[in-house]
Amino acid sequence: MGLRALQEEVDRWIRTVGVRYFSEMTNLAILMEEVGEVARIFARRYGDQVPKQNEPPMELAEELADVLFVLLCLANQTGVDLEAAFRQKMAARTQRDARRHRENPKLARPSGDETPE
């Protein structure tokens, strides 16, 4: 399923189940909230934090899906065709970074090895 189909599905859902879109500013705040939930998982899973006592477990996949949902809402509300925008950005990124990452010595070592040289 492409991004365009996802935007359409979200729009149908909002207009039926959701009644109407929250305002753009509200959805922007919700986007920040959901990104924060992803950060919380990363801080505990890959960072130095541990879960608080009795903290309910959070699923990364669910939280990433929450981020995507509200991002799709914002794209719909602002008239952005995310699929077209994504294609354009990937093309630009590919052209801009054609050699950049291959020539980056920091990427030659395994991911997560942050030992200073």
- In the complex, the residues that contact Mg ion under the rule CB under 5 A are 34, 37, 63, 66
Nearest-approach distance from CB 58 to Mg ion, in angstroms: 8
Nearest-approach distance from CB 89 to Mg ion, in angstroms: 25
Q: Is 56 or 110 the residue whose CB approaches Mg ion more closely?
A: 56
Give the helix, strand, coil percentages of the chain, each rounded to 5: 60, 0, 40
Nearest-approach distance from CB 19 to Mg ion, in angstroms: 20
Q: Is 42 or 91 the residue whose CB approaches Mg ion more closely?
A: 42
Q: CB burial class (10 A; 0-12, 13-18, 19+) of residue 21?
A: middle
How far is the C-alpha of 27 from the C-alpha of 8, rounded, in Å? 17
Q: Which residue is nearest to Mg ion (CB)?
A: 66
How far is the C-alpha of 103 from the C-alpha of 78, rounded, in Å? 38
Nearest-approach distance from CB 88 to Mg ion, in angstroms: 29
Please report, in angstroms and rounded to a whole number, the separation of the first and last CA atoms in the chain.
Answer: 44
Q: Is 63 or 71 the residue whose CB approaches Mg ion more closely?
A: 63
